A and B are shown apart, each in its own frame.
Chain A
Amino acid sequence: AQSVSQHNHHVILSEAASLELGCNYSYGGTVNLFWYVQYPGQHLQLLLKYFSGDPLVKGIKGFEAEFIKSKFSFNLRKPSVQWSDTAEYFCAVNAGGNKLVFGAGTILRVKS
């Protein structure tokens, strides 16, 4: 069965610090990869997605992610976080069959 692992459940950073959230998945074939963000009390919103092509994808609000096929990874990065980035971040994988499988989520708290 497909699975998605997010390495950190809680991350606390100061404003302007750099962010990297890890995501690994288990599936050997073609995948679609996503990062969703959930701000406090809100629904999930798409941050960025990878379908094919350039493995470095850029999303909204200065976020980017790199797909490394050999490592089955899709890590999320942001060079300088802001207080407004405080949220929960979910990595998700669609590995065929149209089922979207989510990781457990990483709660990011940015201290101002």
Chain B
Amino acid sequence: NAGVTQTPKFQVLKTGQSMTLQCAQDMNHEYMSWYRQDPGMGLRLIHYSVGAGITDQGEVPNGYNVSRSTTEDFPLRLLSAAPSQTSVYFCASRRFRENTEAFFGQGTRLTVV
């Protein structure tokens, strides 16, 4: 099993550009989520999904879109990148039931200039 795979690992964008961060998991987990990690702020939830076709906003959703067309994939889209979106992004997945742990991808370090 590959677990949770994120691509790319690094990305530099210019302000106003758009891009999609990819996330795929092969554990048949129903629940997937995106976090951003900023120094001194821990991980903050951007969007999450409890299954294919179902998404919802987390703590910091502005400027990001998601979709969940399959159980395996949960891409995160930045429609018009801003310097405030410079961060490290982590995708996570888990079984959608109590008493389960989340598994994290390797992260994407995004810089917006």
A residues lining the B interface (CB < 8 Å) = 4, 6, 9, 32, 34, 36, 42-46, 49, 51-52, 90, 92, 98-105
- Quick one: given A99-B58, A103-B42, are A43 and B107 in contact (CB under 8 Å)? yes
Taking chain B's interface residues, is the majority helix, strand, or loop, or is none over half, making it mixed? strand
Give the complex CA separation of A51 and B50 in angstroms: 21
B residues lining the A interface (CB < 8 Å) = 31, 33, 35, 40-45, 48, 50, 58, 90, 92, 94, 96, 98-99, 101-102, 104-107
Give the complex CA separation of A4 and B44 in angstroms: 12
* Inter-chain contact B102/A104, CB cutoff 8 Å: no
* Inter-chain contact B42/A100, CB cutoff 8 Å: no
* Inter-chain contact A98/B96, CB cutoff 8 Å: yes
* Inter-chain contact B102/A51, CB cutoff 8 Å: no
* Inter-chain contact A51/B99, CB cutoff 8 Å: yes
A46: chain B residues at CB < 8 Å are 101-102
* Inter-chain contact A98/B31, CB cutoff 8 Å: yes
* Inter-chain contact A49/B43, CB cutoff 8 Å: no
Q: What are 15 residue pairs bridging A and B, where the CB atoms are less than 8 Å apart in the complex? A: A4-B42, A32-B99, A36-B104, A42-B106, A43-B104, A43-B106, A44-B90, A44-B92, A44-B104, A46-B102, A49-B101, A99-B33, A102-B43, A103-B42, A104-B40
